Amino acid sequence: MKIRIGAGLGLRLGVGLRLMSLVLFFSFIVLPIPLQGAVVDWVSGEVSYSHYRGEWKDVDIGMDLNAGDIIKTGMQSEAVLLEDGGEIHILENSEFTVSERYEEEQKRSTLMLFLGRMKFKIGKSTGKEPEIRTQTVNLAIRGTDFEVGSGYDGSTIVLLSDGSVAVQGKTEELVLDEGEGTEVLFGEEPREKFKVMERVIDWDEWFAYSEEAIEGNELNLLEKMLERFVELQAEIRDNETIRENALEEKEALIAKRDELYDAGKEEEATEYSIKAGNKSKRAIHALVNIRFLALSSIGLYDMAERIYTGIEEPSKEIVDVFAEIKEIYRWIEEKYIMAGDRERLEEKADQKRGCLTLF
């Protein structure tokens, strides 16, 4: 696992306990870059990736996936990932991203399917299974074998072969057991199950129908997307506030620590270094969550743009709704969606990991 270490806090250190305090402080300010354990095992056809909105490049076997990578498969193209003892198959004409977020100080790996189809065979894990998300639902999995499709209209279908999956909407949850499936429309809640054996899915037909279902329903879909963008912007602002407050509190703790050092109270000063480290960690977690939210906005905006540009003569109401979506997305993009430069990020991570080894 690659690690990034914060740049430091202008510590005025001497020797002895001051050096010990520095070591304790650094142990709290790590920022992970890669999605731990996700490796490309096999590719066939045209499979490419970009980091956020960066340049598209070919995916190579053996490549580690980083949070912020977007993977896309072309016609008759597939890829297989290995992730913590499980297999993830990405089928043709699919686009998804890998990300991570913090929940109650615990890091969660997340795979977000923007469009297309993926198969999962998740084995027993030493940690928490990754989250699986689409534009419509979140999937909480427990050692399962299942398939997920995300349509052009944002609808989601889940087919479970083994284990169990909790399909979570905004306010409701539906638990699927072996041999069950569900289909959820964009902006709706998961409510109904069906037996997989009684409903054979022709995927080509399902995707074609999800595209046809957009016609005549454009305004309704775009309004639901705008609602989601408003929520994303509010969540980002909440995390910005958390981050700003944590950084302010960190600086106050550092100032107090330095006063104690100057007064010769090294033990008390060390306690304040630890407290400052905790605040720094809280600020980093908020930033990781902001980037997670920003990354999820990419697929949502692409879907909105695809719907909007598919209308020959959009009404004024549709034009206005899309303009609001675009305005919020540009705000997110300018602040938090950066160009893809994995090489620079990994180089920087290696350099900062080297800093830690000095202590």
Tens-digit pLDDT profile for residues 248-274: 999 999 999 999 999 999 999 999 999
Cβ atoms within 10 Å, residue 189: 16
Quick one: pLDDT at residue 30?
A: 35
| Co-location of 71 and 165 in the same domain | yes
| Co-location of 187 and 53 in the same domain | yes
| Co-location of 233 and 342 in the same domain | yes
Query: Mean pLDDT in each 10-residue stretch from start to end of the chain (359 residues)?
Result: 36 40 38 57 96 91 92 97 87 94 88 95 66 91 87 96 92 95 96 92 96 97 98 97 97 95 92 95 95 95 97 97 98 79 51 37
Domain count for the chain: 2
CA-based nearest residue to 112, from 163, 68, 172, 82: 68
**Which residue among 195, 212, 229 closes a domain?**
212
| Co-location of 8 and 95 in the same domain | no
| Co-location of 14 and 117 in the same domain | no
Residue type, 136: T
143 is in which domain, residue-wise?
33-151+156-212
Query: Longest C-alpha distance within the chain, in Å?
Result: 77
| Co-location of 47 and 196 in the same domain | yes
| Co-location of 264 and 180 in the same domain | no
